[in-house]
Chains A and B, each alone.
Chain A
Amino acid sequence: MLSKSQARTFFLGGTVVTFAIFLALSWNSLVNDVPRQTNPENLSESVIRGKEMWESNNCMGCHTIFGEGAYYAPELTKVYERRGEGYIKAALMSKVPWAPRGRKMVAYGFTDEQANDMVEFFKWIGEVDLNGFPPKPDVKR
């Protein structure tokens, strides 16, 4: 039967080996994947300001982006492609809660400039190569 010290060796060995592989794979992702898939050269000041606004207003507390966030409001990864600039800016600049189908969004009342930054952020987000996410609907209605 397995002894306690063998069990400990299994624990320590498994941890060290898998952690080393994990670090190597992570390094590979940072050095190779991120430059190739996320277009870091397009991270303009405007995009970065957009990201700051995305965070400081906790947009992720209702929406998802890259499929991460909350499930109360639409996935926004491809929102630029789906809705276009005009619609997004209208939602962000509205002084009363934007409420398609009755579900309310916070009325941020952003300025034109701020709304532009958010649009730039969404444009950049939409161009990231996500290995095929979000999936294309494939069942006929």
Chain B
Amino acid sequence: MKYKSQKVAYWFFAAAMLLLVLQIVYGFIMGFAHMGYDGLHSVIPFNTARAVHTNLLVVWILLGFMGAAYYIIPEEAQNELVSVKLAYIQLITFLLVGVAAVTGYHLNYWEGRKFLEIPRPLDWLVVINVLTFLGIILATLYKGKKTTTTALVLTMGLVFAALLYLPGMIWFDNQTLDSFFRWWVVHLWVEGVWELIMGGILAFLLIKLTGVDREVIEKWLYVIVGLTFLSGILGTGHHYYYIGVGKIWLIVGGIFSMLEPLAFLAMALFAVAMYRKGEKKHPNKLALAWTLGTAILAFTGAGLLGMAHTLPQVNMYTHGTLVTAMHGHLAFWGAYGMIVFSFITFALPNLTGRKLYDTANGQLAFWLSNIGMLGMTLAFGVAGVAQVYLERKTGLEFGAVQQEIEVHFLVLVLCASMFATGILMFIYEFYRHGSPNDEAIGMEEILESA
């Protein structure tokens, strides 16, 4: 840490961890419901659990991104954040909106639009909040001494993400149009602008951890985000196959979404190549493990498992089944969950001055959470493929199929327990770092050379 104001990042990360724990609790509720144990139905019906699970997911990831931006931008721009007070206010109000939304979901106050369940009035508060955030970031960049490519790509991702939230707020009478524009948010986020944010964070981490020349890293960053948009924008077509728009999307969406894994492949190759090339042996081994892990699991979950069901001929059968949930879990975790974890692992010692660089607990947290998530992916995958075959191929009735596949949710819950154990250990390590303090300023270089 070089600037006082970077400390605010710590609280964004702490809040993200808290929400992740809640997200997992609601995940278990759904896992058990799928197994046939829906004892909470009258208090927390499945749709409540689901809306809370997925919204908390998006919110904790966004908190992670914001925290990372508040840490990265001062360092890249070589300037303190323009207002720390405003950043704290932004954090608190963001959390308050989240609490209001989640409470609403328990009281049947929501909009049943997958991932965009936040009611419109609250959407406006989100917009104001995000504008505040962007204001702080942009003003800091503007006043800073330098604008690096890394900072630029990260900021571009954040600005576009905010803009793309807007099409999701329009009301349509026609379900086809509703769905059409919902994807401008959901797809263009995860397979577009969030990849810019991820790429920016990844580049920053690689510069710090491997010591490879910034110019080289930032060149490849452009190539990666170039591949992202080249494939991802028209790749939106893979959600337009079967919602009531024309067949041209079968061709356009099919071809371009098949190219989307290239961006993730490039990220994986890039991370590994920079690691090999790097002269610097940074002592924060855990951060390096998470960073490389991110690049690899993002390619697996988003790239490979996305590709597995993206051709129209396949998607016709897998569309809207547990196969989608399989991909959704490893993609969200491998790409966005893990990049946030990588950044936290890198930043905590610098924020607090405690060098918990390579602890046994930290190692265990890494392996338990990742192996647990891979197991969950497998469980969803087996359940999904069985569902596709029985329901879509043989025409067995939905409920009968669900009873056939209940057992896979036992496996899911077991693997989820392993995952959750890893997360709790990670949080314990987080806690052990203590709180951020000014004494840690400038200690990064000393710690690294120690």
Contacts and interface: CB of A to CB of B under 8 A. Distances in A.
Contacts of B256: 18
Interface in A4-25: 4, 7-8, 10-11, 14-15, 18-19, 21-22, 25
Contact of B173 (A8, A51, A106): A51
A106 B46 CA distance: 9
B442 interface: no
Contacts of A64: 320
Contacts, number: 207
Given A34-B177, A66-B175, A131-B242, A55 B112 contact: yes
B399 A66 contact: no
Contact of B316 (A48, A74, A132): A132
A60 B182 CA distance: 13
Main secondary structure of the interface of B (DSSP, over half): helix
Contact of B395 (A67, A70, A141): A141
A10 B233 contact: no
B179 A61 contact: no
A137 B389 CA distance: 9
A37 B245 contact: yes
B320 A68 contact: yes
A90 interface: no
B275 interface: no
B52 to A, nearest CB: 10
Contact of A67 (B50, B225, B237, B320): B320
**Contact size class for A?**
35 or more
Interface string A76-118: 0000000000000000000001001111101000000000000
Interface string B373-411: 000000000000001010011111011101100000000
Contacts of A33: 244-246
Contact of B234 (A22, A40, A59, A67): A22
Contacts of B218: 4
B317 A135 contact: yes
A64 B391 CA distance: 14
Contacts of A57: 108, 112
B321 A71 contact: yes
Contacts of B244: 33-34, 37-38, 66, 128-130
A58 B317 contact: no
Contact of B399 (A59, A100, A125): A100
A58 B112 contact: yes
Interface residues of B, number: 77
Given A61-B47, A71-B321, A43 B173 contact: yes
A1 to B, nearest CB: 9
A32 to B, nearest CB: 7
B47 A11 contact: no
B51 A11 contact: no
Interface string A28-48: 111011100110100100011
B110 interface: yes
Contacts of A97: 41
A38 B400 contact: no
10 contacts: A10-B226, A14-B226, A38-B174, A48-B173, A59-B112, A68-B114, A71-B321, A75-B398, A100-B399, A134-B392
Interface of A: 2-4, 7-8, 10-11, 14-15, 18-19, 21-22, 25-26, 28-30, 32-34, 37-38, 40, 43, 47-48, 51, 54-62, 64-75, 97, 100-104, 106, 125, 128-135, 137-141
Interface of B: 30, 33-34, 36, 38, 41, 45-48, 50-51, 105, 108, 110-114, 117, 149, 173-180, 215, 218-220, 222-223, 225-227, 229-230, 233-234, 236-237, 240-250, 252, 256, 316-317, 319-322, 324-325, 387, 389, 392-396, 398-400, 402-403
Given A29-B249, A60-B47, A72-B33, 6 more contacts: A14-B227, A19-B229, A60-B113, A62-B46, A128-B175, A134-B392
